[in-house]
Structure 1
Amino acid sequence: MNGLRVIPAWRHGQERLYVSRADGRNIAWYDREAARINLLSEEEREEVLRTLGPFLTGPVTVGPPPVPTPAELARLSLHPDDDLAPNRPAEALIVSLDRDPGPPHRLRPDPRRRALAAEQAVGEALDRLDGVGWHALHSIPLPGGDRIHHLAIGPGGLFAVHTLYARKQRVTVADPMVTLGRRDPQRLLRRVRADADRASYALTAEVHPVLAVYAASEVAVTAPLREVRVLKDTEVDGLSRTGGVLKPADVEALHAMARDRGTWTKV
């Protein structure tokens, strides 16, 4: 017996097997998903391999832990209260409804709940792009009480996405006006562009404005739009088909900057 113990643990939703001495100090860990054994001391390599032998499920790479990238270092140094990455789609609306659900009986549905449905649908579509090299952040707070509904960062660039609830209604877009059903037109595209401009200033990178329309019966764009993309919620995943703008390292660096609450305090 070499006195080493194997202790399973979970980190970021993935299982790791830590190898510890009798005094509790870790000297290695096995990451099954990465098929890698990370050694803190090369001198104990053989003992660690013997101890982990019964737990190995195939060929593995053995060596010291990889050097963290600048983006990883930035993430590790970020206080949890300042990390926006855990925000759920429509996080601000969820918190608002938890604090003040409103009266139980209303003649009209609470508009916050309609906005919630739209932001959750679009946010979940953006989150599904994570597997193809994209990151999405949600409910990014801005000074003055404003917020960016979603920010998508990936090989195709950066996109500030504003959502609009339009269930079973016709949406007419005549830049900068957006008309929902029979309601009065609103200068919504100015708000969409303003969000993207503020994001560009904060991140010192070009951010493209996007209006995502949720569950509309029809979307009619009456004239070519300046800069803004108008997409149905079912078309949001099409952003993943754009590429050739950012390298993976640039995506990670911009995501590390964008997830820091302090990045947005002066925009």
Structure 2
Amino acid sequence: MDVWVGNDMVKINHGESHPYVRKSRSEAARVARILERGCGYPVVVKPLLVFVKPARLDKASSLTGVRALCERDLAAFGPLSGVLRPEQVEHIYAVARDRRNWPDALQG
């Protein structure tokens, strides 16, 4: 499958446009708000689109605010050094695990 990622959309095999980029930005902003409310301090959430085994992944040069990559590139995130202290990581993780912080998850 060929994937093209533009400013607000994704096209797969040159087909119709899907709003994955725009939705990814929106979901990241929503998650940041929920985590910040639960943690009591700013939590940076960066949107990421991961495509599994595309034959080709092309990104528009103007794509900003969202990372798009292949699943094999996820390993590159492991060695990144963070800006959070270990106790902050644990706190954010605890807030993220608590279903009560995710109103949509409680439905259904």
TM-score higher than 0.5: yes
Count of residues in Structure 1 that have an aligned counterpart in Structure 2:
98
- Residue 76 (structure 2) aligns with: 238
Inter-partner Cα distance in structure 1 for 2:103 and 2:18: 28
Inter-partner Cα distance in structure 1 for 2:71 and 2:53: 7
RMSD, aligned CA: 1.3
Give the 5 Å matches for 1:138-149: none
Q: Is 1:252 aligned to 2:90, yes or no?
A: yes
- The one-letter amino acid paired with 2:48 is V
Deviation at 1:180, TM superposition (A): 0.2
Q: Is 1:192 aligned to 2:30, yes or no?
A: no
SS in 2 for 1:237: helix
Deviation at 1:175, TM superposition (A): 0.9
Deviation at 1:251, TM superposition (A): 0.7
Q: Is 1:214 aligned to 2:52, yes or no?
A: yes
**Percent identical:** 29
- The one-letter amino acid paired with 2:12 is L
Inter-partner Cα distance in structure 2 for 1:235 and 1:228: 15
CA 1:182–1:224 in 2, change beyond 3 Å: closer, same or farther? closer
- The one-letter amino acid paired with 2:3 is V
SS in 1 for 2:57: strand
- Residue 39 (structure 2) aligns with: none
SS in 1 for 2:18: coil
- Residue 102 (structure 2) aligns with: 264
Q: Is 1:172 aligned to 2:4, yes or no?
A: yes
Per-residue CA deviations over 1:90-112 (Å, capped at 9, x if unaligned) read: xxxxxxxxxxxxxxxxxxxxxxx
Inter-partner Cα distance in structure 2 for 1:244 and 1:263: 24
Inter-partner Cα distance in structure 2 for 1:170 and 1:200: 31
- The one-letter amino acid paired with 1:180 is I
Q: Is 1:228 aligned to 2:32, yes or no?
A: no
Q: Which has the larger radius of gyration?
A: 1
Inter-partner Cα distance in structure 2 for 1:235 and 1:220: 14
Give the 5 Å matches for 1:75-154: none
- Residue 40 (structure 2) aligns with: none
Inter-partner Cα distance in structure 2 for 1:198 and 1:237: 26
Return the match for 2:33 from 196, 201, 217. 201
TM-score, normalization by structure 2: 0.84
TM-score, normalization by structure 1: 0.35
- The one-letter amino acid paired with 1:187 is P
Structure 1: tracts of 5 or more residues without a match: 1-168
Q: Which has the higher helix share?
A: 2
Inter-partner Cα distance in structure 1 for 2:69 and 2:85: 25
Inter-partner Cα distance in structure 1 for 2:18 and 2:97: 31
Runs of 4+ in 1 over 4 A off after TM superposition: none
